[in-house]
Each structure stands twice: as structure tokens, then as C-alpha cells.
Amino acid sequence: MGKFVITKRSNGEFQFNLKASNGQTILTSEGYSAKSSCENGIESVKKNAKDDSNFEKKTSSNGKYHFSLKATNGQIIGSSEMYESTAARDNGIESVQKNAPDADTDDQS
């Protein structure tokens, strides 16, 4: 089972990573000034990860593939790592959809 890990950045902001059961990070949040906002971001991922239309598939300028998860208001709530192929990116999306809804939260901040 996956889990959300909350950490504190060197600039004092909070962020979360969604990690798959193998420990690999599959989604990273923006920085939040308040921990409660970070926790709300996690709840938003849990809610929005179920819907394929909330994932925006992208290609970077260097030819690598990645995705963003958006809330219903269009705001990005998490971004993926870079992948070498579209198939790997699509597997990353499936992993978020599988792991996010029931993931526990590990607060390491």
C-alpha cells in the first residue's frame, strides 16, 4: 500500500510525496506555507486521483514524459517525475490511481 509522506523544506514550507508500496515517489506536491494546507492537498489528491480526466499528460522540452494531477478547479495538486516513455508515464498515473485513495499519511515534518 502506498503512503503520503509530509516533510518540511529548507525554506520552511511543507510538501508531500506519494510513495508507492516499493518506496518510489510517484507524485510530489508544491510547497505549502501551512501544514494544514499540505494536509488539504493530500485529501484533494485522494479525491481527484480516481478520475482520468484530472491527469494532464505532458512532454518536456528534453523529450521526457511526465504528468500533473489537477483538482476540479484546474489547480495542479501534484506532479510526477520524468519518465523515458509514454508507457512508463501511464504506469505512473495508474500507480497514483491505485495508491492514493487509501494511502496513510506519514508526517515527518
Give, as one character, the DSSP assignment of residue 57.
E
Q: pTM of the prediction?
A: 0.93
pLDDT classification of 30: cutoffs 50, 70, 90:
very high
Work out whether strand 65-70 and strand 25-28 pair parallel, antiparallel, or are unpaired: unpaired
Q: Is the pLDDT of residue 50 over 90?
A: yes
CATH code, domain carrying 97: 2.30.29.80
- pLDDT in the model for residue 1: 83
- If you average pLDDT over every residue of the chain, what do you get? 96
72 or 7, higher pLDDT? 7
> Which residues lie below 8 Å from residue 24, measured CB to CB, with a gap of 6+?
none
- Structural domains in the chain (count): 1
> Which structural domain, as residue segments, surrounds residue 102?
3-107
